[in-house]
Amino acid sequence: MNNAMEQEELEQILDQAVQDVTERTAGVHLYQGGQSSGDDLCTVQITFDRGFNTSLTLCADTSLLYRMACNSFHEESVSPKDLEEFSKEYFNVLCGRIAGAMFRATQVPSHFGPPVFYHGRYEPEGREVQFVLTYSNEYSEGAQLIHHVPCSDNGGDVSGKT
């Protein structure tokens, strides 16, 4: 994604998608900035395997994802399995929104694989962080959306074009 447009424009697309999808699907308002995530974390990760050679990772306080899942399901509590399923579906919707916005901005069609859920912090191998957007809510629960690109020593073309 970073070869297709300026980083600032990409950050704006990602930020708008995060705030809109989170508000609409989970009824949680996230503010950009704030503290980084705490110790009890979950991570959801996808890799764009066509169109862009990048990946996105959402690393969030478990309590934030739990709050979002409860709001989305209209329940007072959810099981760990429900939390995982919600997190993957939420991230799938978020990445779909991002892919659509990226297509409108660049005319490059893209495809990403299914979201993968991890307990704790996960860093994809062979990737390096290009930038991080940090969020928090009114309960000081935090999340980070991390944009990864291939490690510079891999020599890969980030745009995915051949």
Return mean pLDDT, the chain. Answer: 89
Determine how many CB atoms are found less than 10 A away from the CB of residue 93. 16
Of 37, 139, 54, the C-alpha closest to 95 is 54
pLDDT, one tens digit per residue, over 9-59 is 999 999 999 999 999 999 999 999 876 557 899 999 999 988 888 999 999
- Report the DSSP beta bridge partners of residue 131: 147
Cα four-point dihedral sign 161, 100, 151, 5: positive
Query: What is the reported pLDDT for 61?
Result: 96
What is the pLDDT, as a whole number, of residue 35? Answer: 67
Please, which residues bridge with residue 141 across strands? none
* pLDDT computed for residue 156 by the predictor: 44
Confidence band (pLDDT; 50, 70, 90) for 4? low
Residue 58 carries which DSSP code? E
Percent of the chain having pLDDT more than 70?
90
Element (H, E) at 45: strand 41-50
In this prediction, residue 159 carries a pLDDT of: 42
Binned at pLDDT 50, 70 and 90, residue 155 comes out as very low
DSSP 8-state assignment for residue 3: T
Those residues with Cβ within 8 angstroms of residue 50's Cβ, 6 or more apart along the chain or in another chain: 109, 110, 111, 160
